[in-house]
């Protein structure tokens, strides 16, 4: 690609060189979702083997992906994000947020969604799918921890926009109630424990913000930080921009011991009802193991 001399010092132009085109972006989207082997990538994207081989080679050469051998006879590789590739996740999530709002939506800024919208369909399509491996997020004390506990009969994952934030006037629809939601999960924690169900709260707040809130509210379960948008990119979770950063919209996933999403609650409008329903669904899921 020929570039104007002024583009040599332009970060946007240099990033565009790496991303290249539609196919490169979709390859990165699928790798972030855990589709890291050639056949899986070809099936998800619908790309010819020749073109996919070319795109993967280019992204490896650009330092965005790396190859990892997983089979010797015949030789087979997985394609994994490098640190530079992981640095593109916020860009992918921002692109998704823009598309959800301005292309698939009506331009409204909202922390919720319509039942017939693209975000609703995308999130509910997670039902029956397995979460990709290697989803380690910064948790308590800042250490990266597995999102799912291997000892749990089931796990409730709930994402929320953020706590202790002034959203401004008028408030963003669907963005308030995060403290209430955490308090309700906290109060129900003994019931979850009796069923060997783990609870994980996740937002894009920084880990020290999560830790301060957990201490102040005596939250007994782990609060994770998705500030790097690893989870949002892996599951294509809906976001919105509020108080200067991309934030998760409120949703709840019930995941079984095999990492399979069994139930999705989205949008979450009635928070007390959603917490009670997640307890009921988690109990069913735990009893089935």
pLDDT in tens, 202-227: 999 999 999 999 999 999 999 999 99
Residue 89 has a pLDDT of 97
Q: Chain-wide mean pLDDT for the chain?
A: 93
For the domain with range 104-287, which CATH number is right: 3.30.70.980, 3.40.30.10, 3.40.50.10320, 3.40.50.300?
3.40.30.10
Closest to 180 (Cα-Cα) out of 164, 168, 156, 204: 164
Match 């079984």 to its residue by tokens: 256
Average pLDDT over residues 2-23: 82
What are the distances in angstroms from CA 51 to CA 47, 58, 67, 131, 134? 7, 11, 17, 28, 28
**Which top CATH class is 5-86?**
mainly alpha
**Residue 63, CA distances (Å) to 79, 81, 145 in order:** 12, 9, 26
- 33-59 pLDDT per residue, tens: 999 999 999 999 999 999 999 999 999
Q: Please report where in the chains the tokens 């002034």 appear, as a residue.
A: 166
Q: What is the 3-state secondary structure (H, E, C) of 115-136?
A: CCCHHHHHHHCCCCCECCCCCE
* 194, containing H or E segment: helix 178-194
Q: What is the structure's pLDDT at 168?
A: 57
Would you list the domain boundaries of the chain?
Answer: 5-86, 104-287
Q: With cut-offs at 50, 70 and 90, classify the pLDDT of residue 170.
A: low
Token readout for 48 is 């010819």
């Amino acid at each position: 690609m020929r570039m104007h001399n002024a583009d040599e010092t332009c970060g946007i132009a240099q990033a565009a060189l790496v991303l290249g085109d539609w196919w490169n972006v979709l390859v990165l989207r699928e790798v972030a979702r855990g589709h890291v082997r050639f056949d899986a990538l070809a099936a998800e994207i619908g790309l010819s083997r020749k073109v996919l081989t070319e795109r993967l080679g280019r992204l490896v050469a650009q330092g965005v992906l790396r190859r990892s051998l997983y089979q010797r006879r015949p030789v087979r590789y997985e394609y994994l994000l490098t640190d530079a590739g992981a640095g593109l996740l916020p860009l992918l999530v921002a692109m998704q947020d823009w598309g959800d709002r301005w292309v698939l939506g009506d331009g409204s800024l909202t922390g919720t969604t319509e039942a017939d919208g693209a975000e609703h369909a995308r999130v509910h399509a997670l039902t029956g799918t397995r979460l990709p491996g290697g989803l380690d997020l910064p948790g308590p004390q800042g250490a990266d921890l597995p999102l799912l506990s291997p000892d749990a009969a089931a796990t409730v994952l709930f994402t929320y926009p953020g706590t202790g934030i002034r959203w401004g006037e008028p408030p963003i629809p669907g963005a308030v109630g995060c403290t209430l939601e955490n308090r309700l999960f906290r109060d129900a924690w003994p019931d979850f424990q009796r069923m060997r169900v783990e609870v994980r709260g996740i937002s894009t707040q920084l880990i020290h913000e999560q830790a301060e809130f957990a201490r102040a509210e005596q939250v007994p379960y782990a609060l994770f930080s998705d500030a790097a948008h690893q989870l949002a990119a892996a599951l294509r979770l809906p976001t919105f921009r509020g108080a200067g950063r991309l934030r998760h919209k409120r949703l709840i996933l019930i995941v079984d011991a095999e990492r399979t999403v069994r139930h999705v609650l989205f949008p979450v409008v009635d928070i007390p009802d959603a917490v009670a329903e997640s307890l009921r669904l988690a109990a069913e899921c735990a009893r089935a193991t």
